[in-house]
Every structure is written in structure tokens, then in C-alpha cells.
């Protein structure tokens, strides 16, 4: 098997991330992010747990998470598993907005836990819409059938939030989505999933190479059951591992194996409170393209490349046209 166990091997398989990709990351919650949080009914959270990582959901009425520029605060009673939140733990989160494909990622550390988990923010950025587009996430109807059998639930899953952690305890949470049967597969005593074209930041895979403990949440859009798993992951570029994930004639560049995963299916109170389906209209005044443009402007990298990128994307309509073209041409 063609194991990927170094950053060099990872970049040989999927390519290097373009230098400009880090320019979209800022170290605080700006006005565009605060508007997003004020309208978001659901989040996924990856929380450092010892040397590993655990995952949970939080949700409720729009704006259940409160924030200022430096701190994110989520009431403990809005988490499915509030016991995971402990001061000092790494924290990675992913916020969804009805009708919008892009997601907001906020990373940091748990500063305190007292009625609410308060997160000291280190990173904030917008993630592309491909995972939600591939999974038809917002097209689902409520009350979707969900198998109680773990193997069948995994096969029917179309969306995954994958939580990883680096050796320093910094957590990351990445969205993945595909048609049922091609997003994640159960094979004997392992779970398999694939990489798809994205922004090539490859945070999750870099973390897996350095520290293999992972956790994930699997969803069947339209259903309030969630399958969560933990395990140890490895990466491969082996064609036999990648071939089952072929979609539209395109084979992914790498696959991940989670060995001997502990899998649990349970109703999610957070998902039920969020009432995502049928999807409400996208909130007015929120644009992922405008947020990306603003984050490029706010990024503290003031080098020539950053200044050129900021000037180019500030052209009216440039960012939205670029996103639309990428989603159309590079979905797989």
C-alpha cells in the first residue's frame, strides 16, 4: 500500500497549497463573521481530549452562539456532549447557515467553562461550499429515513465533519460531503473516506500524519440521528483504496483509513433544535464572497503578494465569479 506518512508524500499526492490560501485566515472574529454567527443555528465542535480529539454538535435558535472579536461563547446546554469542554482544550468548529454552501471555521482554545464554553479565538476563515454541494445538504426534506444498523447508516451518510488535532493540541474541523456510498465506506473493521478537490490547505491530513487520532460525525441530511466515531487514521494513495470513491469518472488522489473505529449512533438534540430542514432562505446581507474579500484585506500579512491579492479580489464581483467557476469546474 502506498502509505502517505510525510508532508512531502502528501504534497506529492495532492499538490502544494497555493501561498495565497493562508491569506484568507484572520486571527479574530470580524464584523462579517459576527453576522454569520448571529444567524447560525448549528455548529460542529472538535475538542482536544488527552492526546486525541472528540466531536460533538451544538445548536439552537439562530444566534445561539455569542461572540465578540476575541471570544466565542456557546451555552453548555446547547451541546450534545458538554462534558467534552474543558479549560485549555484545543477547539475547532464549523458553523452552518441555511441555504449557504460555504461554512465558517473558528479555531482556538477553551478559555473557561461556566454555564457557557468560552473560546479564545486564534483563527477564523470561510471554507468552500463543495462539501455541502456534493452532499445535496440543503436540498434534503425533514424526516429522512435513517438505518439503525451502523453499516447501513455509514453507507447512507452524505456529510461528515472530521475533527483532527496536531501534536500541540490545536484542533481542526473539516467538512466532507458526497453522494451516499461514496463519502465513507465500512470495510470489515475499518472506515474509509477519500479526499476531494478543495483549497489544498490539507490541515486534517497534516494533522493525521503527525498525530493519527481522529473523530468524526456522520449525517444523513434530513435526519436528526448522528453517527460519531473515533479511531486512528492512516493515509494512502493506493489505487485499490481510491477506486471505490470514484464519482463522475474522477478518482480521488488519496484515501484515509480509520482502523477499528468506535462508532455510535444517537439522536442529536442540537440538530433537532437547529431545525435545518426544509432549509430556510439564506439570510439577507451575508455573502461568503464578501467575507473572503474582507478577510484577505484584514490578514496581517502585508507582503507584496498579499497586497496584490487584496487588490484583485476587491474588484466588484471577482470573488463570487471565481467561486462559482470553481464549484462548477472542480467539484470532483
Task: Collect the ranges in the chain with pLDDT lower than 50.
Answer: 304
| Three-state secondary structure call for residue 321 | helix
Q: Give the pLDDT score at 197.
A: 81
The burial of 7, by beta-carbon neighbours within 10 Å (0-12 exposed, 13-18 middle, 19 or more buried), is given as: middle
Judge whether 128 and 87 are in contact, CB under 8 Å: no
Distance between CA atoms of 111 and 129, rounded to whole angstroms? 30
What tens digit of pLDDT does each residue of 214-256 get? 999 999 999 999 999 999 999 999 999 999 999 999 999 999 9
pLDDT number for residue 315: 63
Backbone angles phi, psi at 255, to 5 degrees: -130, 155
Q: Domain map of the chain by residue range?
A: 3-329
Q: What are phi and psi of 240, to 5 degrees?
A: -65, -30
Cis previous bond, 278, omega within 30: yes
pLDDT value at position 136? 97
The Cα–Cα gap between 253 and 243 comes to: 10
Q: Is 103 exposed, middle or buried (0-12, 13-18, 19+ CB in 10 A)?
A: buried
- Among 86, 166, 94, CA closest to 118: 86
The burial class, CB within 10 Å (0-12 / 13-18 / 19+), for 61 is: exposed
Q: What's the pLDDT at 272? A: 97
Tell the CATH topology of 3-329.
Answer: Pnp Oxidase; Chain A (2.30.110)
How far apart CA 72 and CA 107 sit, in angstroms, is 10
DSSP-derived pairing of the beta strands 213-219 and 225-236: antiparallel
pLDDT at 175: 96
Residue with cell 462539501: 131
Q: What is the pLDDT of residue 23?
A: 83
Distance CA 232, CA 247 (A): 26
Residues comprising the chain, all counted: 332
d(CA 4, CA 38): 40
The Cα 171–Cα 157 span in angstroms is 24
SS3 43: strand
Note the helical H segments in 129-234.
Answer: 130-134, 150-156, 203-210
- CA distances (Å), origin 303, targets 27, 189, 309, 323: 17, 49, 10, 24
Convert the pLDDT of each residue in 94-137 to its tens digit. 999 999 999 999 999 999 999 999 999 999 999 999 999 999 99
pLDDT recorded at residue 301 = 74
Residue where the block lists cell 479564545? 120
Confirm whether pTM is higher than 0.85: yes
Amino acid at each position: 500500500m502506498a502509505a502517505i506518512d510525510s508532508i512531502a508524500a502528501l504534497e506529492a499526492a495532492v499538490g502544494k497549497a497555493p501561498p495565497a490560501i493562508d491569506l484568507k485566515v484572520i486571527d479574530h472574529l470580524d464584523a462579517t463573521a459576527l453576522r454569520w454567527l448571529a444567524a447560525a443555528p448549528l455548529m460542529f465542535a472538535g475538542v482536544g481530549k488527552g492526546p486525541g480529539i472528540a466531536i460533538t454538535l451544538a445548536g439552537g435558535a439562530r444566534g445561539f452562539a455569542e461572540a465578540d472579536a476575541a471570544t466565542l461563547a456557546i451555552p453548555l446546554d446547547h451541546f450534545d456532549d458538554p462534558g467534552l469542554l474543558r479549560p485549555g482544550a484545543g477547539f475547532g468548529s464549523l458553523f452552518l447557515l441555511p441555504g449557504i454552501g460555504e461554512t465558517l471555521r473558528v479555531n482556538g482554545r477553551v478559555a473557561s467553562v461556566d454555564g457557557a464554553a468560552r473560546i479564545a479565538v486564534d483563527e477564523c476563515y470561510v471554507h468552500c461550499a463543495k462539501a455541502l454541494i456534493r452532499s445535496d445538504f440543503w436540498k434534503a426534506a425533514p424526516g429522512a429515513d435513517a438505518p439503525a444498523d451502523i453499516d447501513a447508516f455509514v453507507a447512507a451518510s452524505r456529510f461528515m465533519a472530521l475533527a483532527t488535532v496536531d501534536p500541540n493540541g490545536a484542533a481542526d474541523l473539516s467538512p466532507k460531503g458526497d453522494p451516499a456510498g461514496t463519502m465513507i465506506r465500512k470495510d470489515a473493521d475499518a472506515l474509509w473516506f477519500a479526499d476531494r478537490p478543495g483549497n489544498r490547505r490539507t490541515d486534517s491530513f497534516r494533522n493525521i500524519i503527525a498525530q493519527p487520532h481522529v473523530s468524526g460525525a456522520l449525517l444523513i441530511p434530513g435526519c436528526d440521528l448522528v453517527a460519531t466515531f473515533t479511531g486512528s487514521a492512516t493515509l494512502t494513495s493506493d489505487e485499490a483504496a481510491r477506486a471505490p470513491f470514484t464519482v463522475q469518472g474522477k478518482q480521488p488522489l488519496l484515501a484515509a483509513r480509520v482502523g477499528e473505529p468506535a462508532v455510535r449512533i444517537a439522536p442529536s438534540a442540537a440538530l433537532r433544535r437547529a431545525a435545518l430542514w426544509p432549509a430556510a432562505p439564506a439570510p439577507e446581507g451575508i455573502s461568503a464572497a464578501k467575507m473572503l474579500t474582507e478577510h484577505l484585506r484584514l490578514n496581517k500579512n502585508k507582503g507584496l503578494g498579499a497586497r496584490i491579492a487584496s487588490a484583485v479580489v476587491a474588484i466588484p464581483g471577482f470573488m463570487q465569479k471565481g467561486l462559482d467557476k470553481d464549484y462548477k469546474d472542480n467539484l470532483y
